[in-house]
Structure 1
Amino acid sequence: MILDNRGLEPPQPMMRTLTALEELTDKEALVIINDRRPMFLFAELDELGHLYETVQQEDGSFRITITKSGD
């Protein structure tokens, strides 16, 4: 599943991402694309135990792959 959050103002990208994660089963992945590095989201993902990988794109956006924890 890919969620394009570009063009949205905070906290919309974070809220959309957390809502989408709730719909996934354990170990499923969600890819999000954000205009900026989502620092507050990273803190939330760490707290929830989800894994994530961030890649900055050539256009300056960030592509983050989040794998829902199985705990």
Structure 2
Amino acid sequence: MILDNRGLEPPQPMMRTLAALENLKKNEILTIMNDRRPMFLYEQLEELGYKQRTEPQEDGSFKIEIFK
């Protein structure tokens, strides 16, 4: 599942991401695209038991893969 949060103002990207995680099944990966590094999201993911991988993109955005 890919969620493109680019162009949205905070806190919309984090709210959309957390809502999408509610539907994430075991062994699935949620990939989000953000304009900025989601520093506050990382804390939430850790509390909820998710892991993440963040890759800066050439255009300055960030690709974040979220999984259990």
**TM-score, normalisation: structure 2:** 0.96
Alignment gaps of 5+ in structure 2:
none
Counterpart Cα distance in 2 of 1:27 and 1:12: 25
Aligned to 1:49: 49
| Structure 1 consecutive aligned stretches of length 4 or more whose deviation exceeds 4 Å | none
Aligned length: 68
Fraction of identical pairs, as percent: 68
Gaps of 5+ in 1: none
Aligned counterpart, 2:21: 21
Q: Deviations over 1:29-69 (max 9, x none)?
A: 100000000000001001111010000000000000000x2
Q: Distance in 1 between matches of 2:37 and 2:24?
A: 22
Question: So what's the TM-score if we normalise by structure 1?
Answer: 0.92
Quick one: which amino acid aligns to residue 10 of structure 1?
P
